[in-house]
Amino acid sequence: MQKILVIAYYWPPAGGPGVQRWLKFVKYLPELGYEPVVYVPENPSYPITDRNLVKESPATIQILKQPIKEPYGWAGLLSKKKTKTISSGIIQDKNPSLAERILLWIRGNFFIPDARKGWVKPSIHFLAKVIADEGIQTIITTGPPHSLHLIGLGLKRKYDIHWIADFRDPWTSIGYHKKLRLTPWAAKRHKSLEKEVLVSADKIVVTSQTTRKEFEDITPKPIKVITNGFDENLSPRELDQDFTISHLGSLLTGRNPLGLWQAIKELIAENETFQKALKIKLAGVISTEVQKSLQSFGLDTFVQQLGYLPHDQVLETMQSSQALLLLEIDSEETKGIIPGKLFEYLNAKRPILAIGPKDWEAGSMVEKSKAGKFLQHSDVALLKTVLLDWFNQYQEGKLECHSVGIEQYHRRALTESLAKFI
């Protein structure tokens, strides 16, 4: 089999969606004629961990590790809580503290492209011998963190090796980028590095059509859309007795569905049966802004906060929920963001209420697959109509999801597409 070197930051015991993509690609690539060699940091600073994922790492795959020096330990001396929050991706929109403002300015202007930049040079040095000893012909870098693409760039320059850059998220156009308080010099540097990676890589993989179109304006190199997906063959589970509306995954600042909270508040006031049956389940990190909104709308008593759940419990919660929430910030910049949870939602086969910006790619996928409804944040009346319709079906025991065409998102099928592109 042809050996390929996969350079990643997130790997078990890392938790969250970032680890799933290449953990699953690595699982299926050997069936398709490729032997992955995985390179990851030895002592990373993961904001969340999931020890259960360690057993999913294929035992036959060679895992190489090198120490990484990360600044989050030092930043924690200023504010340990704020440092962990920012490293998790939660950036306070309203009234950020002095510590947050300082940390964001340092993060955006001193650590370009990100806080893992210190791993770049040692990795290039270490991997030079690996490439020679293992007979590596292809390397794949996956970001964020996008500093890993600079490892690929360095190896490409030194050895002219075949390099594929995988972007799980955009670089300079992602929503939080503008919140980093960049100086004009830093903003220009980010753009310059992004372009250098895109024009130097032999091939590029992205997770959405929106990102593909954006990158096509920068580079002539081949770009392939390979979304995230689902892997598990789920056994049927008993549904919750309550009318549970569940969101699995962190509710980051700005992803606060005020229109939904208003719609639910009105339904509670208008329908006593709805009020008695309703339960809102939230799993993952919940921002302070969302917490305050739930309180202001009088919904906090209906909320069950589950905290961070291991992946297997996430799947169980999805399957047992009456309906699932898929949320994105209402802005032009986020219409190409496709949350990884969407595909596991599809696999759970429960109705999905997608709320996001106009022309949101993920929302369109929900409707195309007939897996639920897609509405904008401001559509309070329509949100009420959908929720009431689903509640009436729930009361009759007929709330179901009859999705179509989701097999294309199975990890095996996605890996086949990747193997053909390599």
pLDDT of residue 90: 45
pLDDT of residue 331: 81
**Contact of 259 with 296, CB cutoff 8 Å:** no
Has residue 196 got a pLDDT over 70? yes
The mean of the pLDDT values for the chain is 91
Edge-to-edge strands of the sheet including 203-206?
62-66, 34-41, 2-7, 138-143, 162-167, 203-206, 223-225
pLDDT tens-digit series, residues 131-141? 999 999 999 99
Q: What is the DSSP string of 129-162?
A: HHHHHHT--EEEEEESSTHHHHHHHHHHHHH--E
**Stretch(es) of the chain classified as CATH 3.40.50.2000:** 2-226, 243-406
**Contact of 269 with 233, CB cutoff 8 Å:** no
**Contact of 166 with 140, CB cutoff 8 Å:** yes
pLDDT of residue 252: 76
Q: Supply φ then ψ for residue 402, to 5 degrees.
A: -115, 70
Q: Which position has the token pair 């202007």? A: 109
pLDDT tens-digit series, residues 384-419? 999 999 999 999 999 999 999 999 999 999 999 999
Distance CA 255, CA 328 (A): 5
Distance CA 366, CA 395 (A): 24
Has residue 351 got a pLDDT over 50? yes
Distance CA 76, CA 82 (A): 8
Give the CA angle between residues 264, 266, 269 to the nearest 5°: 110
Q: With bands split at pLDDT 50, 70 and 90, how would you rate the model's confidence at 18?
A: confident
Distance CA 97, CA 251 (A): 20
pLDDT tens-digit series, residues 321-343? 999 999 998 888 788 989 999 99
Distances in whole angstroms, Cα of residue 253 to Cα of each of 92, 222, 353: 6, 34, 19
Q: What is the DSSP string of 159-205?
A: H--EEEEEESS-STTSGGGGGG---HHHHHHHHHHHHHHHHHSSEEE
Average pLDDT over residues 216-237: 94
Max CA pair span of the chain: 70
Task: Examine residue 145 and say whether the peptide bond preceding it is cis (omega within 30 degrees of 0).
Answer: yes
* DSSP tag of 53: G
CATH architecture, range 243-406:
3-Layer(aba) Sandwich (3.40)
Q: With bands split at pLDDT 50, 70 and 90, how would you rate the model's confidence at 87?
A: very low
Residue 174: HSE in the Cβ half-sphere, 13 Å Cα cutoff? 20
Q: By CB neighbour count within 10 A (0-12 exposed, 13-18 middle, 19+ buried), where does 89 fall?
A: middle
Distance CA 54, CA 227 (A): 23
pLDDT of residue 73: 53
pLDDT of residue 175: 66
Contacts of range 142-145, beta carbons closer than 8 Å, 24 or more positions apart: 142/6, 142/7, 142/8, 142/9, 142/21, 142/22, 142/166, 142/168, 143/9, 143/167, 143/168, 143/169, 143/171, 144/9, 144/18, 144/114, 144/168, 144/169, 144/171, 145/9, 145/113, 145/114, 145/115, 145/116
pLDDT tens-digit series, residues 271-303? 999 999 999 999 998 988 899 999 999 999 999
Distance CA 226, CA 233 (A): 21
pLDDT of residue 75: 45
- Find the range with the poorest average confidence among 113-117, 151-155, 203-207: 113-117
pLDDT tens-digit series, residues 39-74? 999 999 888 888 889 999 999 999 999 999 887 555
Q: Supply φ then ψ for residue 390, to 5 degrees.
A: -65, -35
Secondary element (H or E) of residue 378? none
CATH number of 2-226: 3.30.360.10, 3.40.50.2300, 3.40.190.10, 3.40.50.2000? 3.40.50.2000
Edge-to-edge strands of the sheet including 243-248?
303-307, 278-283, 243-248, 323-327, 352-355, 372-375
pLDDT of residue 72: 56
Choice between 413 and 176, residue whose per-residue pLDDT is larger: 413
